[in-house]
Structure 1
Amino acid sequence: MHRANTASDEPSVPRGAVAIIANRRGELLLHRRDNLPHIAWPDYWSLLGGGCDPGEEPAHAIARELDEEAGLHVDELTQLFEVLDEHGSGQLITFFAASWDGDASALPLSEGVELRFVDPEHLAALTIPPYIRDGIDRYLAARPT
């Protein structure tokens, strides 16, 4: 007996979520990743975020990751778009945006080695994973000036 494939038969694509956090000056909150063997994109600059737990929606994952990685709680997270990390984890990454005007150096960073706001004009000098750079570029092109 042959049965048709259903959505539940298909392997699910791993999911992740990241947040583009901007302050009122338009700077973006970035962190420099750890340089450890098990870390994807070691020593690269990236956005806060991470993988979704099994069954977890990206909106819940990003709120959890912001809290776990930096003790950061933002009032409103807006879902933007999705980007596939084709050269790293293979995850489908959901990008979110929020505003926050706090002191990045006061946050308790639990992952990575540095957290700071970066002026978009200085992004070209940083080593950023391609899918993160693509997402940031897309965000910057769409935001009002």
Structure 2
Amino acid sequence: MHSDTTDVQRPATARGAVAIITNRRGELLMHLRDDLPGVIAWPNHWSLLGGGCDAGEAPAAAIVRELDEEAGLEPWDLTELFEIRDEHGSGQLITFFAACWDGDETQLPLAEGVKLQFFAPEHLDILTIPPFIRAGIHRHLAARPS
């Protein structure tokens, strides 16, 4: 006998991780994504470095892997902050991390995207940034001590 109330296993929520990386001047490292509509979420937008978690991979492991894969970057003081869902893009639940790095971003071996650039927080408003990334950055900046 078939029941219309059969429990269906729902797939686990896709997860990802991004890092708000700041230098000693308080500037944020932003990543200009490739312009590949239909291939990647948020093409030609300024975002944060990061990406999706592999199956069974924790967000903390994913962000370390993604920073290395995308830019050969090993920041210090990596700290988990909060989660925000990318409602209008990938649908992933994104874990935000904060970290510090003081190098020359133009010398990083960028494997994905167009470029990396540090921006002062007051200049972020002129950039095209995905809404969930902008919300995460503002949330982080508001919580920082003056």
Question: TM class, shorter-chain normalised?
Answer: over 0.9
Q: Displaced runs of 4+ in structure 1, greater than 2 A?
A: none
The CA deviation at 1:10 is 3.3
The answer for the alignment partner of 2:18 in structure 1 is 18
Structure 1: stretches of 5+ with no match in the other structure: none
* Count, aligned residues: 143
Q: Report the RMSD for the aligned CA atoms in angstroms.
A: 1.7
Give the aligned partner of residue 115 of structure 2. 114
1:30-82 per-residue CA deviation (whole Å, 9 max, x = no partner) reads 01000013121111000000000010000000000000000001232100000
Partner of 1:81: 82
CA distance in 1, matches of 2:144, 2:21: 13
Paired letter, 1:44? H
Which TM-score applies when normalising by structure 1?
0.93
Q: Distance in 2 between matches of 1:5 and 1:139?
A: 39
Q: Tell me the amino acid that sits aligned with residue 91 of structure 2.
A: G
SS in 1 for 2:65: helix
2:33 aligned partner: 33
> AA paired with 2:68?
D
Corresponding residue of 2:95: 94
What percentage of aligned pairs have identical amino acids?
70
Name the aligned partner's letter for residue 61 of structure 1. Answer: A
| In 1: Cα distance, 2:30 partner to 2:70 partner | 12
The one-letter code sitting in structure 2 at the alignment partner of 1:108 is P
Aligned-residue offset at 1:103: 0.6
What residue is the counterpart of 2:134 in the other structure? 133
Secondary structure of 1:64's aligned partner: helix
Q: Give how far 1:87 is off.
A: 0.2
* 5+ residue gaps, structure 2: none
In 2, Cα distance between equivalents of 1:51 and 1:64: 10
**Residue type matched to 1:92 in 2?**
L
Q: In the alignment, residue 22 of structure 2 is paired with which amino acid?
A: A
